[in-house]
Amino acid sequence: MIVDVHAHTPTHRDAVPDDERRVYTGWRTDRAVTTTNSWADYDEAMADADVSIVFNIAVDDPEAATGLPYRPEDTNTSTAAFVAADPAGRIGFMSVDPTRADAVEEAERCRELGLVGVKLGPNYQDFDPLSPRATAFYGYCEREGLPILFHQGASPIRHAPLRYTYPLVTDEIALAFPELRIVMAHMGHPWGKETVVTIRKHPHVYADVSSIYLRPWVCYESLLAAVEWGAAHKLLLGSDFPIANTGEAMAGLRRVNAITEGTALPRIPDEVVEQIIHADALGALGLSVKETP
């Protein structure tokens, strides 16, 4: 089974009207990214995945904060509706502001909607991931078995603080909440080594490879660190739709050794690449998909 653990909820149920189409130039260096997408666009992009994990990020102004234009009041309801339309192929994560007094109340509402994990982007949401209110929310997630996928590493959004996404912050969280299942997004790019030494030491902490294949040296260096530190089995496949799609992610990983041609640099073993593509992400995160009648 191929599981794509990192995709953003499409902005439109039906075809995107021309006057609502948006593109963003900061995510990739080779082309602009269309940030308004329909459910059908998502299905086409995820065609190579058997299951995908999908979410939004809870912020007051999504387009300014994340580059993705959706109504903030629909952050979780749109994800829940999207997942309900294909419960065998999609798993929905909620997003909340853990510093708000009603964070747990919102999480409980989202669980009733069928969302089974949490997406947090402390840089986009502008909260200190080690603050008392944030850590109290992690405790709730640990008790309730809700995995958290943290944005980790760089972002082109100017006002998003990088210090909130440094991978060693996640080490602090995992030390305090050893049973909390965590995914460190993007292998913490460009801090792949710091991400690797973190996932290596914590049994329930993983990293996804979303977007790293867009930068060949970052991809190679990060995967090599995972191999050398014996942590490659803690890596999960992710595309970061709409920035990329599952097929592009798989192809990018399989090209990782192109950068070594004609050099003495060590190669990433092919079996490691295939292990990432076919990783048991659902088992790692304690998740399952609903059976199709």
Only one residue has tokens 């999504």, namely 62
Residue 115: give its domain's CATH number. Answer: 3.20.20.140
Q: What is the mean pLDDT of residues 143-151?
A: 98
Domain membership flag for residue 25? yes
Q: Collapse the DSSP code of 279 into the 3-class scheme (helix H, G, I; strand E, B; otherwise coil) and give the result.
A: coil
Total domains in the fold of the chain: 1
Residue 60 lies in a domain: yes
Q: Is residue 292 part of a domain?
A: no
> In angstroms, rounded to a whole number, what is the distance separating the alpha carbons of residues 235 and 200?
10
Domain that includes residue 215, residue range:
3-285
Supply the pLDDT for residue 293: 39
Would 198 be classed as within a structural domain? yes
Q: Which helix (H) or strand (E) holds 273?
A: helix 270-277
Q: What is the mean pLDDT of residues 152-172?
A: 94
Between CA 188 and CA 172 the distance in angstroms is 15
pLDDT at residue 292, rounded to an integer: 44
In a domain, 56, yes or no: yes
Q: Does the model's pTM come out above 0.75?
A: yes
**Chain mean pLDDT for the chain:** 96
201-233: pLDDT as tens digits:
999 999 999 999 999 999 999 999 999 999 999
Question: With contact defined as beta carbons under 8 Å apart, do 279 and 82 qualify?
Answer: no
Helix or strand or coil: residue 7? Answer: strand
- C-alpha 265/C-alpha 277 separation (Å) is 23
Residue whose token pair is 């997003």: 95
